[in-house]
Amino acid sequence: MRKLLAFLILVLLVFSAWLVFAFLVPAGPRQQTFVEFKTGSSARRIATELKDAGIIRSRTAFLLLHLMKHGSLKAGEYAFSHPDNLRDVYGRIVRGDIYTRVLVVPEGYNMFDIAAEVERLGIDSQQNFLEQARTQTAIIRDLDPQAPTLEGYLFPDTYRVSRKEKSPDVVAAMVKRFHQEARAIGLTGDVHRIVTMASIVEKETAQPDERPLVAGVFYNRLAQHMPLDTDPSVVYAALLNGRYRGSIYASDLQFTSPYNTYRNAGLPPGPISNPGQASLLAAMHPSQTDYLYFVSDNQGHHRFSRTLEEHNRNVAEYRRASGAGAR
């Protein structure tokens, strides 16, 4: 009996040491390794795939920990780049800490800005993203049958993109978010006109309280058949033609393009950026004002005026303060 008891104690000590070693001592790769668990994968299957990939030492230890914890294991692709202990590996799978690239699209980004970020993150090439943005207009046709591209409908937000997702998936997710936002704010009527106006407002001011005023100015100019004379449209025309050099030059103001609102009355053929909620609401509900002009005040806001004379005085003051030109 003493020998049996001693043997049992020895077994218990060995088992306890094994548990401590299996649960707490880090294991796994020293370079990034991806493991994907399909939807519906059992705990046994997950444990086997982790063991085969060298992420954990023991399949049995993983299953024992799962029996103790009763966690819900989440499907998806996981990236392991350094040794971890078993509890940390298990915790990541319970939390669903799957591998994604975080694509942040600020308000006012155009499709060229987004394409550059998509390429920087290694999701896809700029060329592929732009091709999707230019050709997949069918996914917004329910709201805007006139949309020349998906510009304006790639809704600004933070997107988590898996390793297998490419430009078509990203574009679809962004347009889906636009549809959700459109429903939330009650966007109806001439969506093409509203989104195009919102895209200009978004580029003209970063001040939320000014956006309805800016929209009101542009609607007033449209009503009086005045050119919008908005610099962001000139920049966009240059981008479309591969001639933008980081600043607006006199030749850009004279450049022949339907997006050049110095040469063409009315709105451009489509949006020039991707507006956020505030600019969409401003374009839907502009301020009722008799302002026709505005210019920067050099402090992040604008000065609004009703007459050309008043506007010219504001422009002169702006130039004196900044040493720069103005519209």
| Domain count across the chain | 3
Give yes or no: residues 298 and 237 share one domain: yes
Q: What is the pLDDT of residue 22?
A: 67
> pTM to 2 decimals?
0.85
Structural domain boundaries, residue 111: 101-185
Q: Which residues of the chain have pLDDT under 70?
A: 3-22, 24, 323-327
279 and 219 in one domain? yes
pLDDT of res. 298: 79
pLDDT of amino acid 108: 97
What pLDDT does residue 162 have? 93
Which of 95, 115, 148 is at the close of a domain?
A: 95
30 part of a folded domain: yes
Domain boundary residue, one of 95, 117, 138: 95
Please indicate, yes or no, whether residues 276 and 200 belong to a single structural domain of this protein.
yes
Residue 144 confidence (pLDDT): 97
Q: Is there a domain that residue 15 lies in?
A: no
Identify whether residues 208 and 108 lie together within a single domain.
no
Long-range contacts of 86-91 (CB under 8 A, 24+ apart): 86/22, 86/23, 86/24, 86/27, 86/56, 86/57, 86/58, 86/61, 86/62, 87/23, 87/24, 89/28, 89/50, 89/55, 89/56, 89/62, 90/62, 90/65, 90/66
User: By the 8 A CB rule, do 126 and 115 touch?
Assistant: yes
Task: Please identify, among 161, 185, 209, the residue that sits at the C-terminal boundary of a domain.
Answer: 185
Specify the CATH number for the domain of residue 47: 3.30.1490.480
Are residues 233 and 315 both part of a single domain?
yes
**pLDDT reported for residue 226:** 95
- pLDDT value of position 76: 94
pLDDT of residue 13: 60
Query: According to the model, what pLDDT value does residue 317 have?
Result: 87
